[in-house]
Amino acid sequence: MKTKLINEINTVAKIKHDNIIKIPGFSECSNDCSIDFFTKENEFYVKIHNGNKTCTAKYELLGTFDLTTSTWYWSHLFNPHNPQTTLISKNINENMKIFIENKKIKLTQYDLELVTFFCRNSIYIERENLEILIKLCLFLSDVQWIMPYRKIDNTPSKIDFIIIKQIIQIV
């Protein structure tokens, strides 16, 4: 269902997508990318290696989607990592309705139900609604991008979503 809120979310997501693919390395980023995480002076960084390009950015964790159960988990509720890596996730999840009200968009009943549903701690979610959730998080936050990351370990059925807060360096 297309509502004013959904249209606004799609517009912001497209603008952020168009901006991120202009950055060398991101436009070609695929499953062939390798990703390293590191901490430096209490800041959390991700290094994305894509062919001959390497992009370093500050990051946080948004959440995880379990492909087997179609369940979304907000990272601040389950993440064993440092809570400093989940501040944006917590802020979005706890204040989603307030953020939307501050955007001065009149919510339809459908919008209100969708946002209320997304505010839950963990939710069964179909893939098309997962896309709306990720775009809504882009819409509600001042981040550059949210990218999926699939670990190569014993949890291949899970996709983590990483918030790119700030691009630091591209070489």
Cα 91 from chain centroid? 13
pTM > 0.85: yes or no = no
3-state secondary structure 80-112: CCCHHHHHHHHHHHHHHHHHHHHCCCCCCHHHH
Banded model confidence at residue 58, pLDDT cuts 50, 70, 90:
very high
Domain boundaries defined on the chain: 4-170
138: which strand partners?
A: none
In angstroms, the first-to-last Cα distance of the chain is 42
Q: Are 42 and 154 in contact (CB under 8 A)?
A: no
Residue 5: the pLDDT is 84
- Rounded Cα gap, residues 74 and 29, in angstroms: 25
Could you give the 3-state DSSP secondary structure of residue 165? strand
Write the pLDDT tens digit of every residue in 23-52: 766 655 555 678 888 988 888 899 988 777
pLDDT at 152: 63
pLDDT score, position 95? 77
Question: Which ranges in the chain belong to alpha helices (H)?
Answer: 4-20, 75-78, 87-102, 109-118, 127-140
Residue 1 above 70 pLDDT? no
Mean pLDDT of 84-101: 78
User: With 80 as the cut, is the pLDDT of residue 103 above it?
Assistant: no
